[in-house]
């Protein structure tokens, strides 16, 4: 009789966390963001995890340089498929709009496929895409984050949604806290006491559950 597999865990923001987890990370500068996130990605590189970055296409060069400087062989990692950078136009902003349900479906299909070949996937997703002026569907961000809580527990992955506190209002950040069970502030990760489970949250905002 085989023993059950031990839960996977990661080091993130001075904390050891069991997988899976869904984290909102609030940073006040790029330097703070890289100080917290680079060790998390380097650990994943050494462990053979999938490293998925979703970011502004104009920041891809800097991200690769930072990863390289931290000890990741980005050329080999990209060639082998372990490291992947996706622009917002390849993820959240397809065809010039944010389609919440299409994005949730994409997450589910992509992550199910990745889990067959990697120990786990570490996602570093910069969320400033939602600030684009006049972006159709951007108003669904909070509902999207709530509905994502139906998906992430199915996969032993780590999802870090990064928000620049200089660009988001206090009211939006409070809603983001209510839709993430874990949070990073001041460089530290903790179990979020403001988190509201998705069924309860969606009832509050008058959105019935119909799929994720």
Nearest Cα to Cα of residue 127 among 54, 34, 177: 54
- Res 49 pLDDT > 50: yes
- Give residue 108's pLDDT: 79
- Give residue 117's pLDDT: 81
The residues, ordered by sequence, that sit 6+ positions from 34 with a Cβ below 8 Å of its Cβ are 66
% of the chain exceeding 90 in pLDDT: 83
How confident is the model over 17-22, as a mean pLDDT?
92
| Average pLDDT, rounded, for the chain | 92
How confident is the model over 6-33, as a mean pLDDT?
92
| CATH code, domain with 85 | 3.40.50.300
Q: Let me know if residue 49 belongs to a domain.
A: yes
Q: Let me know if residue 127 belongs to a domain.
A: yes
How confident is the model over 16-29, as a mean pLDDT?
95
**Residue numbers of the domain that contains 164:** 21-204
58-75 pLDDT, tens digit per residue, is: 999 999 999 999 999 999
- Give residue 115's pLDDT: 54
Write 13-17 long-range contacts (CB < 8 A, 24+). Answer: 13/40, 13/184, 13/187, 13/188, 13/189, 14/187, 14/188, 14/189, 15/188, 15/189, 15/190, 17/158, 17/182, 17/189
**pTM for the whole structure:** 0.92
Q: Let me know if residue 10 belongs to a domain.
A: no
- Give residue 2's pLDDT: 43
Q: Let me know if residue 9 belongs to a domain.
A: no
Put residue 209 in one of left, alpha, beta given phi > 0 → left and psi -120 to 50 → alpha: beta
Q: Let me know if residue 6 belongs to a domain.
A: no
- Res 4 pLDDT > 50: no
Strand partners, 183: 24, 190
Strand partners, 185: 188
How confident is the model over 36-62, as a mean pLDDT?
97
72-98 pLDDT, tens digit per residue, is: 999 999 999 999 999 999 999 999 999
CA pair distance 129, 98, nearest whole angstrom: 9
Q: Let me know if residue 34 belongs to a domain.
A: yes
C-beta of residue 122 within 8 angstroms of C-beta of residue 133:
no
% of the chain exceeding 70 in pLDDT: 92
- Res 211 pLDDT > 90: no
How confident is the model over 182-207, as a mean pLDDT?
96
Q: How many domains does the chain have?
A: 1
How confident is the model over 23-49, as a mean pLDDT?
98
Q: Let me know if residue 161 belongs to a domain.
A: yes
C-beta of residue 181 within 8 angstroms of C-beta of residue 191:
yes
Q: Let me know if residue 132 belongs to a domain.
A: yes
Which two tokens mark 18? Answer: 């069991």
How confident is the model over 121-149, as a mean pLDDT?
96
C-beta of residue 34 within 8 angstroms of C-beta of residue 66:
yes
Which two tokens mark 7? Answer: 């839960």
């Amino acid at each position: 009789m085989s023993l059950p597999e031990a839960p996977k865990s990661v080091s993130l923001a001075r904390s050891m966390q069991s997988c899976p987890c869904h984290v909102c990370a609030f940073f006040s500068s790029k330097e703070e963001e890289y100080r917290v996130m680079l060790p998390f990605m380097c650990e994943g590189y050494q462990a053979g995890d999938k490293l998925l970055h979703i970011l502004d296409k104009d920041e891809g060069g800097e991200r690769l340089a930072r990863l390289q400087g931290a000890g990741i062989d980005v050329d080999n990692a990209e060639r082998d498929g372990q490291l992947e950078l996706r622009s917002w136009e390849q993820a959240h902003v397809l065809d010039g709009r944010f389609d919440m349900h299409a994005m949730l479906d994409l997450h589910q299909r992509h992550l199910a496929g990745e889990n067959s070949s990697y120990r786990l996937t570490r996602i570093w997703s910069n969320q400033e895409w939602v600030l684009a002026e006049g972006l159709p569907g951007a108003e669904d961000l909070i509902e999207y984050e709530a509905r994502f809580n139906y998906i992430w527990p199915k996969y032993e992955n780590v999802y870090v949604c990064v928000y620049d506190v200089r660009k988001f209002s206090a009211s939006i950040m409070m809603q983001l806290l209510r839709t993430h069970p874990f949070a990073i502030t001041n460089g530290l990760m903790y179990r979020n006491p403001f988190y509201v489970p998705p069924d309860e949250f969606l009832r509050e905002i008058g959105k019935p559950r119909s799929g994720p």
